[in-house]
Amino acid sequence: MTTKIEQLKTHLAEISDLMYIGNLLGWDQETNMPPAGVKERGEQMATIARLVQQRITSDELCRALEEAEAEVVGMDPDSDEARLVKVTRREVDKRLKVPSRYYEELSQLAVESYAAWKEAREADNFERFRPYLERMVDLRREFASYFSPYEHVYDPLLNEFEPGLKTKEVQQIFTELRPRQVALIQEITSRPQVDDSPLRQYFDPQKQWDFGVEVLTKFGYDWQRGRQDKAAHPFTTSFGLNDVRITTRILEDYVGSALFSSMHECGHALYDLGSDPALARTPLAGGSSLALHESQSRLWENLVGRSKPFWEHFYPRLQEYFPQQLGNVSLDAFYKGINKVEPSLIRVEADEATYNLHVMLRLEIEIQLMTGELQTAHLPEAWNTLMNEYLGLTPPNNAKGVLQDVHWSHGYIGYFPTYSLGNLISAQLWDTIQKEIPNLDDQIRKGEFGELLEWLHAKIHRHGSKFEAPELVQRITGQSITPQPYIRYLRQKYGEIYGF
Amino acid sequence: MTTKIEQLKTHLAEISDLMYIGNLLGWDQETNMPPAGVKERGEQMATIARLVQQRITSDELCRALEEAEAEVVGMDPDSDEARLVKVTRREVDKRLKVPSRYYEELSQLAVESYAAWKEAREADNFERFRPYLERMVDLRREFASYFSPYEHVYDPLLNEFEPGLKTKEVQQIFTELRPRQVALIQEITSRPQVDDSPLRQYFDPQKQWDFGVEVLTKFGYDWQRGRQDKAAHPFTTSFGLNDVRITTRILEDYVGSALFSSMHECGHALYDLGSDPALARTPLAGGSSLALHESQSRLWENLVGRSKPFWEHFYPRLQEYFPQQLGNVSLDAFYKGINKVEPSLIRVEADEATYNLHVMLRLEIEIQLMTGELQTAHLPEAWNTLMNEYLGLTPPNNAKGVLQDVHWSHGYIGYFPTYSLGNLISAQLWDTIQKEIPNLDDQIRKGEFGELLEWLHAKIHRHGSKFEAPELVQRITGQSITPQPYIRYLRQKYGEIYGF
């Protein structure tokens, strides 16, 4: 480690501290904060955001970065040092191209826009939200303009969440995926439906919580370095490499909600907890991109948590917790129940087979909004048309249609595709894992996850943010991001369940 | 409001945000943080402390302050504007006189010193702590030196916690107080002891919690603007004028602990919650000094919470919660039990009659350490001698003697006197309150606290930190801080209980 890089790291450490502090302000707001604290909390979060922006764009940091860049010339480009400089340059440039005033405007609009969206959804009144969304679309187009020339106006937005990926690439992937996913759903819906009513009874919340904790402990979540709380919308958040917390939501009348959301968030947490300690307090600490993050959460939630081997181990235990509800329900029936496929209106409730179509719909709409092909006035109509085309459903109202997601109110345009990319990557990784750990299913059948976690740690987690998603997937699987493994996985799984 | 003051307030708002954020980092550490997060949390707290120091001593702030000072010339000296400028000047000068390096050294020593103190207390090994305490005493003398010339070397330390008060004044007050307090204790201990064994049974923790919440709600604690959590050492902390949280500690085998600690912390919280909203995000927001803060916590805990009228209302309710334990215990017996006086070794467990002597002992020792009359090597001996002189007790070991308090390990020399001053002020205020609300006892007997809280709000809370303790006490009571009302209060109360 050389001096100039050390100097750069001193600047970065302070920024890292501030970002973790911002996370704590948000976590506390969701889990503990008394309602009246909201205005002051907003001021505090704005102060942290402003300090982060000031520091990332400061002359001192820019100078330290330039000097460090000179110093890493000739070093191994995969070394922590070279990657640190590269990723820092990417982030600094992104900040420098956009005026600070822009972020203030964005964050102010986001606050108002979120409030309007909440009211609009509750009242099923799209027009209540539309003016804010329109300003948001304008503001996000302005954002893109700071990065011109670009290949696609959507590229700068996508790169906010998924560095290193082009809109064109995502479109190619989705174009390949969509007809196969639609065909799969048609096959499934042509078969007799499975019955998930045993999952939909009263399940004592405390027992649900306890069972979830057992599972997470087996997964390897370290309670000395994390904790679980309740939140309306489950999320994971980091306050450092040794304090990564998850949240879950318990529904009394559906046993699947808390369980799968806990496993999902645990997957995120294991990723963030797994960074090499040498990366602490740098931009390389913690997961690399939203798609990679989602690949980890989906892997634990779906590839592991909705698999037959997993339940061969855990189902008897779950029956012990809930003898009345599940004592007479067979493993096979339970397994089919948690994997029931049914086209539905709400993305966050969608099953594995239909989920990606919800995302594709949003991507098309976002791109059209950004290119100007679609005006916000015509948005509900466009939404409903695509929903019918992709899933054969028509929303009864906008609350269950175009108003369902919070993302646009925050200005998160470019975020949705990462959900689907995460699904695809999870299956792609799983193919490789199964080759490299041939008896993994047997291990899972015994409730053993140590070798799986070790593999994920060695190949993905420890690298933190050193590698962008396309590069890391290529290194691990020998392929670029592709939908084939995911489609194969879905066809095999649902072929067994639905008998085709 | 004029422009220059607005500019000053912009600077101060950011500092205020950072300080509240520091409070959140600390609160979370005590209530929620997983153990492994401690190192990173330390880094984050240090970053916030450094940013606060940088900003308070920045050229921009100093310039804005000078301009604002020019602007308030001729204004009402009691106006928010004039007081804001005055208090800001006091704080800025305090920071400017001390090099930033000093605070870094202090905070680093405090971390090591705290760890050493914990080990020392656990192992009853004073020598484990002594070298750190010695460095701490040196460092605090260095601190005082930055404020020379001073009247007394202890003055600058006292002013860290109690601005506007001189060591000489505290010594005068304590000199007047001590013989009277000693005489009172002798009178009490010459009488037959009361029996508090009914309080020392098993009390269900959840029921203790619920009863406490009932009491706090009646006091007027607004749960929309606060919350209560459990912590090993109860404390109150603010994250803004609308988010002031308290903590409590429940002992299963003693009903007094959670109850009185909740009332105590509630008193602190009501003070911080009561600032005029116009003072938000300025150094005038929140309570003015530790002694005034303690006067509020002690008032609710003791003057209200250990009074006969209070229990005339609440005791039947407590009996409903605990019919087995208290059903056959009379109000009179319960009232005497919670007011039992017994000289003891540990300050935090001391009753109202003996508490101040623990503080006086510490003040004498602190002054001698600072003047150099006492060396740390002789500290245990000095402690035990004074303990015997004041309370007639000899600690069996240093863990129950000189090592019992955490304060010195943090460098909090000058803090202890504020506890006693708070006791004195609480009784002084109570005298005035009883004159101005003649039927207050009747109100309390009905469980009504609205007029009391309104009085405290109008006279004390709403002013935030505009007035220092000596000035505010003078304004409200027409007297300087004096021990007479407290002595009278104790003599009357214990005269009835112990029959003299």
Per-residue pLDDT of chain A (500 residues; tens, 9 = 90+): 558 999 999 999 999 999 999 999 999 988 899 989 988 998 999 999 999 999 999 999 999 999 999 999 999 999 999 999 999 999 999 999 999 889 888 988 988 898 899 999 999 999 999 999 999 999 999 999 999 999 999 999 999 999 999 999 999 999 999 999 999 999 999 999 999 999 999 999 999 999 999 999 999 999 999 999 998 889 999 999 999 999 999 999 999 999 999 999 999 999 999 999 999 999 999 999 999 999 999 999 999 999 999 999 999 999 999 999 999 999 999 999 999 999 999 999 899 999 999 999 999 999 999 999 999 999 999 999 999 999 999 999 999 999 999 999 999 999 999 999 999 999 999 999 999 999 999 999 999 999 999 999 999 999 999 999 999 999 999 999 999 999 999 999 999 999 99
CATH number of the domain bearing residue A177: 1.10.1370.30
pLDDT at A233: 86
Do B350 and B417 belong to one domain?
A: yes
Summarised one tens digit per residue, pLDDT across range B432-478 is: 999 999 999 999 999 999 999 999 999 999 999 999 999 999 999 99
Q: Indicate the pLDDT class of residue B377, thresholds 50, 70 and 90.
A: very high
DSSP A4: H
Reply yes or no on whether B265 is catalytic: yes
Backbone angles phi, psi at A48, to 5 degrees: -65, -45
What is the pLDDT, as a whole number, of residue A108?
Answer: 82
Evaluate whether B161 touches B290 at the Cβ level (below 8 Å): yes
| A284 neighbors A318 (Cβ within 8 angstroms) | no
A139 and A159, same structural domain? no
Nearest residue to A83 (alpha-carbon basis) of A166, A8, A169, A158: A8
pLDDT, chain B, mean = 96
Beta strands in B182-266 (DSSP E): 228-230, 236-238, 244-248
User: Which residue's structure tokens are 């994250």?
Assistant: B239
Contact by Cβ (8 Å): A11, A61: yes
Please identify every residue of A annotated as catalytic: 265
Nearest CB to B40; choose among A37, A226, A242: A242
Q: How far is CA A231 from the centre of its chain?
A: 17
Residue-level pLDDT at B281: 97
A217 interface with B at CB cutoff 8 Å: no
Query: Are A147 and A191 contained in the same domain?
Result: no
* B46 phi, psi to nearest 5 deg: -65, -40
Same domain, B134 and B194: no
Range of the domain at A87: 3-151
Q: What pLDDT, on the 0 to 100 scale, is given for residue A384?
A: 97
Last residue of a domain, one of A123, A151, A179: A151
pLDDT per residue over B5-54, tens digit each? 999 999 999 999 999 999 999 999 888 999 899 889 989 999 999 999 99
CB pairs under 8 A between A and B: 110
Place of tokens 């890292």: A16
Catalytic: which of B265, B294, B301, B364? B265
Residues A102 and A157 in one domain: no
Q: In whole angstroms, what separates CA B201 from the centre of its chain?
A: 29
**Residue B146 in 3-state DSSP?**
coil
What is the total count of domains within chain B? 2
Same domain, A383 and A491: yes
CB contact, 8 Å: B222 with chain A?
yes
CATH number for the domain harbouring residue B106: 1.20.58
Find out whether A417 and A167 touch, Cβ atoms under 8 Å: no
* pLDDT score for B12: 98
Please report the residues numbered 266 through 285 in chain A whose beta carbons come closer than 8 angstroms to any beta carbon of chain B.
280-281
pLDDT at B408: 96
Q: What percentage of chain B reaches a pLDDT higher than 70? A: 100
A75 touches B at CB < 8 Å: no
Distance of alpha carbon B417 from its chain centroid, rounded? 10
Nearest CA in chain A to B281: A40
Residue B111's pLDDT is: 82
Are B113 and B188 contained in the same domain? no
Enumerate the H helices of B76-191 as residue ranges.
Answer: 80-97, 100-123, 126-145, 155-161, 167-189
Is A241 in the same domain as A369? yes
Which of A18, A245, A280 faces B47 most closely, judged by CB atoms?
A18
Q: B55 CB near a chain A CB, below 8 Å?
A: no
Q: Is 60 exceeded by the pLDDT of residue B365?
A: yes
**Closest Cα in chain A, distance from residue B229 (Å):** 10
Buried b or exposed e, range A66-83, using 16+ CB within 10 angstroms: eebbebbeeeeeeebbbb
Among residues B112, B129, B150, the one where a domain terminates is: B150
Tokens encoding A46? 């704005």
- Residue B263 predicted with pLDDT over 70: yes
Say if residue A216 is in the same domain as residue A85.
Answer: no
Determine, for residues A25 and B24 on separate chains, whether the beta-carbon distance falls below 8 Å.
yes
Angle formed by the axes of helices A126-145 and A355-371, to 10°? 70
Beta bridge partners of A236: A246
Position B126 scores a pLDDT of: 98
**A135, A151, A167 - which closes a domain:** A151
A21 contacts on B by Cβ (under 8 Å): 21, 25, 44, 47-48
On the CB side of B458, CA atoms within 13 Å amount to: 9
Task: Say whether B37 and A227 touch across the interface (CB within 8 A).
Answer: no
Same domain membership, residue A318 and residue A228: yes
Same domain for B264 and B125: no
B7-11's contacts with Cβ under 8 Å and 24+ in sequence apart are B7/B64, B7/B67, B7/B68, B8/B61, B8/B64, B8/B65, B8/B67, B8/B68, B8/B84, B8/B85, B8/B88, B9/B84, B9/B281, B9/B282, B10/B64, B11/B55, B11/B58, B11/B60, B11/B61, B11/B64
In terms of domains, do A316 and A403 share one? yes
